[in-house]
Structure 1
Amino acid sequence: MPAAHAELRRLPVNGPVKGVLVAVATVAAGTAVTAGGVFAAAALFDDGPRATAAAPPSRPPVTATGEIVKGDLVDKETVDGKLTYGTGRTIKAGTAGTVTSLPAEGKVVERGEPLYRVDRKPLILLYGDLPAYRTLAEGVKKGPDVRQLERNLKELGFAKGVTVDTRFTEATARAVRRWQKHNGLERTGRTGAQEIVFLRGPARIGETDVEVGDRVAPQRPVLRVTSTDRLVRVELDADDQDLARVGEKVAVKLAEGKSVKGSVSKVAKVAKLVKQSGNDEGRAVIEVEIEVPAKNAGVLDEAPVTVELRRLRAENVLSVPVEALLALPSGYGVEVVGQGGSVTRVPVTTGVFGDGRVEVRGAGLAAGMKVAVSGR
């Protein structure tokens, strides 16, 4: 076996170590070498402490990544609210007498059905925007309230021969008599607030102000009704009013944990002052109403809910998870992870923050790229 020769060569070294004698192996052709290609030779020092060569720093492998996304950047804020029913109204007695029938709380009354009875005569719900402000009969001046009545008579099947318009004709009177007979009313061919009440749609019965057997006079409050629409009412800090815009879609979390979609239907124009305790100066709030589908909201009234509102911060920008930002001596950067696991550090300029993400601008960045995030 050919002999292997070793020679000592002095190599210049910067730093406190003044002179290092390193054993360098000179190996004849075909000679086996130890792992690493050199003999296990000791380093010799002229003077000074013992030194060892520092291992190059190694980067831990990337184990978690996020994606660069292009789109709108928003803030999300969760606020408390109450789930209730739509616009309410007090129904008053249209005639004097004794209350002989009242509906159950929570019942929904629809077109052509009685709201209550006085002396066994019903006050019947019809649909319309105008209240019953006059007696409707042949000879009255034409008007939109006549159209309302005729439209309801047609929907209920009593308007044979009636043209739905603003004129109360003999045909209209005949239709009214047919409707009165069906409901046990005196067949007069005329009607008004003593027999009908116009509301914009079905009415849900709320609290009653009287009991069966009570005597009532005209205009005495009898019961309260609401629409069947489901609403969430929120008192939003006036400083946060930009979180709510009419038509904005929001997420509503119900008391039982289910989430439903809602839409902002009304934002008050004027703030009001709300006091939370006797010594509290109060806070300015804006009332916000949010419509939710009745079929998804259950039947509970005044139930607590939470609403997730969104504030637009930036449109059509590149963003990364906040955890992807790296602090660099000159600012911030991200580490772009290639398909083969390669990592490229890219300095970035940051913009607005929202919903756990941050806007970034940097050379070569594009939507769909992967970036390393904390936990790597």
Structure 2
Amino acid sequence: MMRTKIALALAVLMALGGWAYQARFRHEALPKPHPAATLATAEVVKTDLSDYWTETGTVGFRRQRTLRGAAAGVVTWLPKSGSVVTRGRTLFRVNDRPVTLFYGSTPMFRDIATVGLVGRDVRVLADNLRALGYRIGPQPADATFTESLKAAVQRWQTDRETRPADGVVKLGDFLVLPGKVRVGATTARLGDDATGDVMAVSDQAKAVSAEIDASRTDDLRAGQKVGITLPDGKSTTGTVDSVSTAVRTEQNEAPKVQIVITASGLGALTSADVEVRFTGTTVRGVLAVPVGALLALSGGGYGVQLDRGPLTAVKVGLFADGMVQVSGQGLAAGVKVVTTS
């Protein structure tokens, strides 16, 4: 009898242990619940948006132009590339006679030899000799080649070692430019005809030139700021100096116009390609959300999902820098919308 009770108790214990083991096994085998998924959100902001486009520009110097002699002769001396020529200095020599740089706006167009000769070219001669320190005597209002001005020319010719120093200024003895120039590439070689292209000159100030589609000229104006990315990846800013009115057209290409940009952060660069970033359309004080917040609606158009709120249809405007202009019911600055993380 006692053995029967002991056997029955052992059987009950074994049954209970098996049930507990199975229950524990079933509990451990079940996957653990994941925490509730969280959605990324972003605030609707009130801001200014601008779209951009980029073009390749070339670093160079402002107001580049090509010089040629005004009178026939042989080129006998040329300056070094990169040198700067100022008022009264020699640009090049023709038949070993110096061609001098004078400042002004009226080019020399004849010999100045006869006392009493009147004209704007005489005014350029008188103004430059006076600026160089020569006494030219009283000058009539109508710019006349006086005896005293001719005597000043003789002194100038003597100092320049121009022979003969007779007070006669021959066509081509000076070239008139707006100011000092930097010498670029020399086109001519010693012995070439001086009436052909002799050399390129420019201002000392550096600039970036670029071509843009003629259709974009309405987006640009002188004084507008642009971004410039240099070859080493560094960035600087520039200012639109001029937008050409001349349109260049080539087959199978959109019409182009050239623009010139001044920039002070070009370092030692004198010739290199850079990336220029232009601002196009700008909208101010608009509501905007990240582009990732837009949802395509089945019926067409776009919507945004308000955080803990409904899906709201929106009207989209300008896209810029990962943001998009939006308007719609329930949207205001500070409202949160669901977006991609």
For the aligned pair, the TM-score class normalised by the smaller chain equals 0.7 to 0.9
Structure 1 distance, partners of 2:135, 2:55, is 50
Structure 2 distance, partners of 1:123, 1:294, is 32
Following superposition, the deviation at residue 272 of structure 1 comes to 0.3
Could you tell me which of 231, 241, 266 is aligned with 1:296? 266
Q: 1:98 to 1:360 in 2, by over 3 A?
A: closer
Quick one: which amino acid aligns to residue 317 of structure 2?
A: V
Name the residue aligned to 1:263.
Answer: 239
After alignment, is 353-362 or 159-168 more displaced?
159-168
| 1:96-138 residue CA offsets vs partner (Å, 9 max, x unmatched) | 5554321112322222211112344311111222211122353
RMSD over aligned CA atoms reads 3.5
Aligned runs of 1:89-108 on 2, under 5 Å? Answer: 89-95=65-71, 98-108=74-84
8 Å Cα contact 1:324-1:373 kept in structure 2: yes
Following superposition, the deviation at residue 222 of structure 1 comes to 2.6
Q: Structure 1 length normalisation: TM-score?
A: 0.66
Could you tell me which of 208, 213, 217 is aligned with 1:232? 208
- Kindly indicate whether residue 111 of structure 2 is the aligned counterpart of residue 140 of structure 1: no
Name the residue aligned to 1:210.
Answer: 188
Q: 1:247 to 1:267 in 2, by over 3 A?
A: farther
Q: 1:268 to 1:325 in 2, by over 3 A?
A: same
Higher helix share: 2
Following superposition, the deviation at residue 314 of structure 1 comes to 3.1
8 Å Cα contact 1:244-1:288 kept in structure 2: no
Name the residue aligned to 1:360.
Answer: 326
Specify which structure has the bigger relative contact order, considering alpha-carbon pairs within 8 angstroms and separated by 6 or more residues: 2
8 Å Cα contact 1:313-1:354 kept in structure 2: no
Q: 1:370 to 1:179 in 2, by over 3 A?
A: farther
Structure 2 distance, partners of 1:105, 1:258, is 28
Structure 2 distance, partners of 1:95, 1:241, is 41
Structure 1 distance, partners of 2:171, 2:80, is 22
8 Å Cα contact 2:108-2:176 kept in structure 1: yes
Name the residue aligned to 1:306.
Answer: 275
State, as a whole percentage, how many aligned pairs show the same letter. 31
Name the residue aligned to 1:199.
Answer: 177
Following superposition, the deviation at residue 323 of structure 1 comes to 2.8
The residue matched to 2:66 in structure 1 has which SS?
A: strand
Quick one: which amino acid aligns to residue 194 of structure 1?
A: G
The residue matched to 1:284 in structure 2 has which SS?
A: coil
Q: 1:241 to 1:262 in 2, by over 3 A?
A: same
Following superposition, the deviation at residue 335 of structure 1 comes to 4.3
Structure 2 distance, partners of 1:354, 1:105, is 47
Structure 1 distance, partners of 2:127, 2:336, is 64
Structure 2 distance, partners of 1:121, 1:221, is 18
Following superposition, the deviation at residue 375 of structure 1 comes to 4.8
Name the residue aligned to 1:26.
Answer: none
Quick one: which amino acid aligns to residue 167 of structure 2?
A: G
Structure 2 distance, partners of 1:362, 1:163, is 75
Name the residue aligned to 2:26.
Answer: none
Aligned runs of 1:1-376 on 2, under 5 Å? Answer: 60=38, 65=42, 68-71=45-48, 73-95=49-71, 98-137=74-113, 138-143=115-120, 145-159=121-135, 161-163=137-139, 165-168=141-144, 169-186=146-163, 187-212=165-190, 214=191, 216=193, 219-264=195-240, 265-274=242-251, 282-293=252-263, 296=266, 298-301=268-271, 303-325=272-294, 331-333=302-304, 335=306, 347=312, 349-355=314-320, 356-362=322-328, 369=334, 371=336, 374-376=339-341
8 Å Cα contact 2:290-2:323 kept in structure 1: yes
Stretches of structure 1 lacking an aligned partner (at least 5 in a row): 1-54, 275-281, 337-342
Structure 2 distance, partners of 1:262, 1:205, is 24
Q: 1:167 to 1:227 in 2, by over 3 A?
A: same
Name the residue aligned to 1:52.
Answer: none
After alignment, is 291-300 or 134-143 more displaced?
291-300
| 1:198-253 residue CA offsets vs partner (Å, 9 max, x unmatched) | 112222323323333x164x624332323334343333344545444444321122
Q: 1:78 to 1:101 in 2, by over 3 A?
A: same
In the alignment of these two chains, the number of paired residues is 301
Structure 2 distance, partners of 1:142, 1:242, is 42
The residue matched to 1:148 in structure 2 has which SS?
A: helix
Stretches of structure 2 lacking an aligned partner (at least 5 in a row): 1-32
Q: Structure 2 length normalisation: TM-score?
A: 0.72
